[in-house]
Structure 1
Amino acid sequence: MAAACLVLGLGLIGGAVTGSWLLPDGGESGTSGAFAAAGSLWHSVPVDQLFPPRVEGQGAGPGGADRTWTRVAVAPDSGCADAFDPLLRKALAPVGCQRLLRATYTDATQSYVTTVGLLFTKGDSAAMAALRTRFKNESLDSRTDLMPRPYAAKNTVAAGFGSEQRASWTVSVLTDAPVVVYAVSGWADGRTVDEPEPAAKAMASGATTAVAQAGLGQEARGLADRVERALRKTVDSATEQPS
């Protein structure tokens, strides 16, 4: 049993746990069962299922261009202490931090790098709904003092991807799962960004900033959306009842 408990952590560090599973403790049915199942996915599915080694983004780039992202690193599963700017960490505190999973990707040209994260919270459905409402009403997902931090991995194209290199980001609070999905993007050459922009602003029609023109909003939003879709598909599969 002790060895089984180490499977995910070791796999995350190595970035390859395909086929390595931990058995869930049990299941429920209905909506509450799906919510609970989603909250346990961080230890019950392979990391390659949550963060595929290659992600296809049909129509995800500027002007509807296709995108392909390749995973360059997977962070060890961890807590949230160093993953968010202090004010974002404070805003997320009401739902707690059960586990944080992160991976960093690069585009096909290795011009951009993007960290995508899945924060598995301790909150129930009501707490997640309240947090989502607050994010929407107070525009917390567009404030530059509430940003997720990237995961920079040594000896990869993302080695220089630090807080000063953040260009665009997106944060999505789910209400049908105790999960916050986010992504933060930047240039792969390590250049600093004086004025990062939330993905929604960078993707707006007519946006002319360097971040917008480079499509870094699409990088963040495109990856976050596809990781969220993969998460939902995994939840659906985990809660399917035998016929």
Structure 2
Amino acid sequence: MVSFAEPDVFGGRPRRLRVGPRAAAAAACLVLGLGLIGGAVTGSWLTGDGAEAGARSAFGTAGTLWHNVPVDELFPPTVQGTGAGPGGADRTWTRIAVAPDSGCAHAFDPLLRKALAPVGCRRLLRATYTDSTQSHVTTVGLLFTKADPAGMSALAARFRDERLDRRADLMPRPYAARGTAAAGFGDPQRAAWTISVLPDAPVVAYAVSGWADGRTVDSPQPAADAVRSGATTAPAQAGLGNEAQGLSDRIERRLRQTVGTATENAA
């Protein structure tokens, strides 16, 4: 609240208060500023504008991308991985197969399917890439869930707190396509993997990598461990952790960019 003091009195009569041009201008600016601020706040209340409304809109938009966006936008034919290889080396991945969009019935090992069950499975999109030498193959997947923001946040917290993304019995399955470098990329060939539960979108992103020659792997390793300096396992030495982590990061980044663009266009 703003109150004005009583006017000065001289000789029992109030003195006229003279307002200079600068004071009048300042008062006008104050009134105008308060009006603008009030209008903006009122507009925010009326339109639901703000960070919370924007987050809700982006979350809803993300859940529709599996059928609203061409596959090339989610899984580009070529992905550049600047600095993604061991020691900061550059990587280039070429898409060699795209799986038909499907459910999740046979896409995950039983324990991983059970861990993901609380968020449901709306649709699963997968693609398999190879590196420029065709020595490695990597399947990247986007699981679109049925969960709301609270459900995704709860699953993300569980994966983080229980370190479920580091358990070898919760590895994603690869997508092997006949007639490609990934034809022999089955469950026994899995070498490194990463899983990312997105709390701000109804999506679980993952990647799993292996050798293109079909060799089996006795001790697969989480990508986060395989990319650490000094890691001496076979997947780490071959850079397969970098393959899974680097490609998954870029597909996830592209997903977020697509969500942002689609949300702006819908506004």
**TM-score category by the smaller chain?**
0.7 to 0.9
128 and 165 in structure 1: CA distance in 2 versus 1, 3 angstrom threshold: same
Shift of 1:242: 8.1
2:250 is aligned to 226
1:184 is aligned to 208
Report the 3-state secondary structure (helix = DSSP H, G, I; strand = E; otherwise coil) of the residue aligned with 2:215: coil
Q: What is the letter of the counterpart of residue 160 of structure 2?
A: K
Q: What is the letter of the counterpart of residue 112 of structure 1?
A: H
Show the 5 A alignment for 1:52-201.
52-201=76-225
Report the structure, 1 or 2, having the larger helix content.
2
Q: What is the letter of the counterpart of residue 139 of structure 1?
A: R
> Are 2:40 and 1:47 equivalent residues in the alignment?
no
Structure 2 unaligned runs (5+)? 1-48
Shift of 1:82: 1.2
- Total equivalences in the alignment: 216
For 2:245 and 2:266, the matched residues in 1 are separated by: 35
Shift of 1:216: 0.3
Shift of 1:239: 0.8
RMSD, aligned α-carbons:
1.3
Shift of 1:209: 1.1
Q: What is the letter of the counterpart of residue 75 of structure 1?
A: A
1:21 is aligned to none
For residues 63-84 of structure 1, the C-alpha deviation after alignment (integer angstroms, 9 at most, x for no partner) is: 0000000000000000011111
For 1:62 and 1:106, the matched residues in 2 are separated by: 16
Shift of 1:210: 1.0
242 and 192 in structure 1: CA distance in 2 versus 1, 3 angstrom threshold: closer
Which of residues 213, 219, 227 in structure 2 aligns to 1:203?
227
For residues 68-123 of structure 1, the C-alpha deviation after alignment (integer angstroms, 9 at most, x for no partner) is: 00000000000011111111110000000000000000000000000000000000
Shift of 1:33: 1.0
For residues 94-153 of structure 1, the C-alpha deviation after alignment (integer angstroms, 9 at most, x for no partner) is: 000000000000000000000000000000000000000000111100001011000000
1:10 is aligned to none
Shift of 1:241: 5.4
For 2:82 and 2:107, the matched residues in 1 are separated by: 29
Report the 3-state secondary structure (helix = DSSP H, G, I; strand = E; otherwise coil) of the residue aligned with 2:236: helix
Shift of 1:31: 1.4
Question: Displaced runs of 4+ in structure 1, greater than 4 A?
Answer: none
For 1:67 and 1:112, the matched residues in 2 are separated by: 12
For 2:112 and 2:206, the matched residues in 1 are separated by: 12
242 and 227 in structure 1: CA distance in 2 versus 1, 3 angstrom threshold: closer
Structure 1 unaligned runs (5+)? 1-27
Max radius of gyration: which structure?
2
For 2:140 and 2:99, the matched residues in 1 are separated by: 10
2:57 is aligned to 33
For 2:265 and 2:95, the matched residues in 1 are separated by: 33
